[in-house]
A and B are shown apart, each in its own frame.
Chain A
Amino acid sequence: MQILIGTDGTRVSKIATDFGVMVARAASAELTLFGVATTPNAETNLRAAFAEVQRQLPVAAHEKISAGQAADEIIAEARSSLYDFLIVGSRGRRGLARLLFGSVASRLARYSPIPALIVKGRRTAVLRVLACTSGDARGERPARWAGQIAQWFNAEVTILHVMSQMLLAPGVKQDELGVSADTAIADATREGQHLQRAMALVREHGARNTIRPRLRYGLVLEEVVAEANEGDYDLIVIGAHESPLPNDALSGLAKYLFDDVADQIISALNRPVLVVRSS
């Protein structure tokens, strides 16, 4: 397992690297610390931040420093090597600040070619993992990752599927709108089958602790955020559409056409979120 940690030595990055070190220890993974020097003096600060992280590690991590735009450089590094996922911190900018200054974490969550773990809020253990699945084949990837992470930490996993559907036309059967996850599984509805498949995947990927299916009804963003906060989960795993290429005209168009729920969830939560794209 190879993990790339993007850091700039700030307080937010410190929280992310601490979380990354915890994950690396649990997964017995190799770490690469990656920094982007945006000013001439930045390299010295980055080296100091790297040294602080190295002191916590039983095995020394690789170190890399690049120059340029932080998000672009991290994406380029993620593309060039065989990392399994990357970890970065998020300042949690919202509203106007986010609009004006953007968010490196948000850009990474959208364009990273590998799963991106965006760390917000300090967590000292991973006891509960929430895997949000979309109800189709794409939704199975978060389940696999949730299983893997649950194995590292012996964590409990909850598999959440949100049904935001409402009845469109008279005469359509509405039996499936409103049932519990257990009933959906017992009745083998489409969502029930999906939850069952996701539970099997979590187990296959090593989870040994409790695995719970959960169905919620309402707006996807609202329900995911509500479940994450109510269940006090330590890590949220979400799926997302295929990662578009940055600076590509078609991807630019896609950005305006497709809603990015993953980005909205990251923005709304103060917990680590692993974004697993379908590509």
Chain B
Amino acid sequence: MTPAAPSWLSQVNWRKVGIFVVSLFLFILAIQLLKSGAKVLVPFIRDGLAVRNMWNALGFGWLFAYLVLSGSPVAATALTFFDAGAIDKVGTFAMIAGSRFGASFIVLGLGFVYALRGHERKVSLAMGLLSLLVTYAIYVPALLIGYWLLQAGTLDGFHPHSAQSELNSLMDVVFNPLVAGANTSLAYILPTPWPQLCLFALGFGVLWYSLNLIDHSLPDMKLKEGAFGGMARMLYRPLVTFALGAGITTITMSVSVSLSLLVPLSARGYIRRENVIPYIMGANITTFVDTLVAALLIRDPGAFTVVLIEMLSVAFVSLLILFLIYHPYERGLLRLVEIIGASNRNLAVFLAIIVIIPVALMFVR
């Protein structure tokens, strides 16, 4: 007689576990491909795109995220550019911040499309605008703090490289032959520097795909409203909601995915204004978890420091707001959302501004 399997084993969604393992494998492979191909892009980034200072890097990350409709692949790519020497620490820091500015636009873009399809603009765009404005309002002061921390070199010695050596050797054994194989195959058919460029493009594609795959591998968290009886009450305290946003986004690694998990809280797809701002603030910090993992995979202590400082400066500004000026900040943002969403003209002006700013940043010398 065969012993029965433990009940929790039967409840595991093995398909999702499989997807997660594959997505993780692809994520690591993508980072290695990007790392290998990035070196050839150094002249293009420095001279072609003229990314030479912090402001250029900010604008570049911002526009790049618009282009690929996602922030995380851009943030990971910034680290490979840093590793290749195309941008310095401050530039990397700024490019990662720019990727968040661009990524927030996607939520707004979705709201805009939704509004174009005939739904009332004011409510359709509110979430996207709010998400965008929270990100701007936090990251602008966080940029200054991060810049100061990077210049001071305060956290330069803080990276977990020693504990990683065994993991690194294992990764070398598995991924180096794959990257080298791809490189050699491309070199057979393409002249220099196209093999490296293709490697980079392939890496970016795999990274983008793997991040999407990670979203799909997440367990179904759509709980019934009743299950949140007590939690809905807890959500009311900004600091608790902030922690929840940070916690859930650590698992989901995506602000938009973690926001959508709030839907069952009301069952009707609504969320309280009081809860959403701190939730986005928390999510904005831990959305860097995948970038932090990418920094570890790149094995450059500087890359790890940059991401850590990004997270710490965003966390510091968020907590400062939560403890000191939360209510005026909340009122101000909601008022701004109302003003921007009040008419097509206001919205068009706002959209124009957030397209012009990153373009203008690229020309700062």
Contact = CB atoms under 8 A, between A and B. Distances in A.
Interface string B261-288: 0110010111111101000000000000
Interface string B223-238: 0000000000110111
A176 B114 CA distance: 18
B161 interface: no
A249 interface: no
A259 interface: yes
B266 to A, nearest CB: 7
Contacts of B354: none
A180 to B, nearest CB: 16
A258 B273 contact: no
A170 B271 contact: no
B227 to A, nearest CB: 16
B240 interface: yes
A269 to B, nearest CB: 15
A167 interface: yes
Interface stretch (B33-41, B116-124, B202-210, B308-316): B116-124
A168 B273 contact: no
Given A222-B331, A256-B239, A168 B233 contact: no
A98 to B, nearest CB: 14
Contacts of A169: 127, 259-260, 263, 269
Overall SS of chain B's interface: helix
Nearest to A222: B331
B111 interface: yes
A60 B233 CA distance: 43
Nearest to A259: B236
A165 B266 contact: yes
Overall SS of chain A's interface: loop
A96 interface: no
Contact of B237 (A166, A218, A222, A257): A257
Interface in A58-112: none
B265 to A, nearest CB: 8
Contacts of A125: none
A169 to B, nearest CB: 5
A124 interface: no
B270 A258 contact: no
A166 B331 contact: no
B123 A174 contact: yes
Given A174-B120, A222-B331, A168 B270 contact: yes
Interface in A155-202: 164-174, 176-178, 190
A273 to B, nearest CB: 19
A245 interface: no
Interface residues of B, number: 34
Given A166-B126, A219-B273, A259 B111 contact: no
Given A220-B274, A257-B237, A259-B236, A168 B331 contact: no
Contact of A174 (B119, B233, B260, B262): B119
A168 B237 CA distance: 19
B138 interface: no
Interface in B321-348: 327, 330-331, 334
Nearest to B120: A174
Contacts of B68: none
Given A257-B240, A259-B274, A168 B120 contact: no
A261 interface: yes
Nearest to B240: A257
A165 B273 contact: yes
A241 interface: yes
Nearest to A241: B233
B234 A257 contact: yes
Contacts of B364: none
A72 to B, nearest CB: 25
A26 B238 CA distance: 41
Residue among A168, A171, A176, A190 with max Cβ neighbours from chain B (10 Å): A168
A261 B236 CA distance: 9
Nearest to A165: B270
A146 B236 CA distance: 25
12 contacts: A165-B270, A166-B276, A167-B124, A168-B127, A168-B260, A168-B276, A170-B110, A218-B273, A219-B273, A256-B239, A257-B237, A261-B236
Closest 6 CB pairs of A and B: A172-B269, A165-B270, A259-B236, A170-B114, A168-B271, A259-B237
Interface of A: 164-174, 176-178, 190, 218-222, 241, 256-259, 261
Given A166-B123, A168-B262, 12 more contacts: A164-B273, A166-B271, A167-B126, A168-B127, A171-B269, A172-B269, A176-B268, A190-B268, A219-B273, A222-B331, A258-B234, A259-B236
